Amino acid sequence: MGRAALAAAREGIRVVFSDVLREGRATGSEPIPGGWRAVEDVPVVACYDRYPSFSHRQGWLALLRDAGDLPVGNPPALTELCRDKAACQRVLEAAGLPVPPQETRPERFGKALAAWGAGFLKPRHGTLGAGVRRVVWSDPLPEAGAEAEPLLLQQAVTPPPGAAGTCVRVLVQRREDGGWTVPSQVLRWSPDDPVANAARGAVLRPVEEVLPGASDRLADLALAASRALAADHPAALELGVDVVPDSGGGLWVIEVNAKPLGRLEGLARLDPERFEAAHREACLRPFRRLAAWVRRSGEGRGDPTNLRIP
């Protein structure tokens, strides 16, 4: 991200990394060739929200209050929609996307599992695969109110042969002109964990190596999901759409992340010659889009080349 910010500076977009904002001015640090330097009192006209809203929620809410009426790329309403898995799925279902059936009432979990055979219990507002577990009809199930975090049950998708869990993170980003692009599709594969999440040790692979011929369908699904979720959010910059392939070649959208982590970065570490340039461009694209949006919309104040990441 620092190298992308340096590239943005060469294009006239100043980027300051900060979690301190007062009266439209930021204190933090910015990249310079060979390192970083501390900066204070930098005028801000827009924010690109990469703050850990789940693990440090109170700090995130305080920072949003400090931002006031500054435009925020990937706005909080979009973050909250994606964070609520049940609400997110309702939007995806209404858009006609293939999503596994889900149940949000614990008293009906047993009946749902009897019909499905297997499912995934998930914290309704969880992240990074934490607290997700596969269950079958004979497993003990939580009662209503028994868990600190509300749970939902999602029907299990039978993975392709040879894997306990497979999931593709499709990154979808806005271009400068406001259109959408799909810069990466990274497959997460696990031989023994049904929850194929990189945070839980899943192996990262280029999608075409495991699912040949699926890239166009994956891109189409991810684009449709992103357009549906961002329909009311013109400042949406990027989304990470999780798509699960089934044993029969079908594809299912299971979640969408408003602050996608660098799965492409993982491939870039494994094969920098092949993936580093694409990774850096993906980091740079949100800065370009937010700067173009602010300039065209006339929102914000001060110098429109000053952007800040909370």
pLDDT digits (tens, 9 = 90+) for 148-182: 578 999 999 999 888 888 999 999 999 999 999 99
User: Hey, how many other C-beta atoms are within 10 angstroms of the C-beta on 148?
Assistant: 8
Q: What is the pLDDT of residue 253?
A: 97
Q: What is the pLDDT of residue 304?
A: 42
Q: What is the pLDDT of residue 300?
A: 43
Query: Residue 309 pLDDT more than 50?
Result: no
Does 174 fall in a domain?
no
Does 185 fall in a domain?
no
Q: What is the pLDDT of residue 299?
A: 46
Give the number of domains in the chain: 1
Does 143 fall in a domain?
yes
Q: What is the pLDDT of residue 301?
A: 44
> Which residue segment(s) compose the domain that 121 sits in?
102-155
CA atoms within 13 A on the CB side of 6: 11
Does 140 fall in a domain?
yes
Does 176 fall in a domain?
no
Q: Say what the pTM is.
A: 0.90
CA distance 152 to 135: 12
Segment 286-296, tens digit of pLDDT: 999 999 988 88
Does 124 fall in a domain?
yes
Q: What is the pLDDT of residue 264?
A: 82
List the structure tokens of 130: 């934490």
**Mean pLDDT of the region 11-38:** 92
Residue with tokens 């999931």: 167
Are the C-beta atoms of residues 261 and 163 closer than 8 Å to each other?
Answer: no
Does 151 fall in a domain?
yes
CA atoms within 13 A on the CB side of 161: 1
Does 125 fall in a domain?
yes
Segment 233-273, tens digit of pLDDT: 889 999 999 999 999 999 999 999 998 876 788 888 888 88
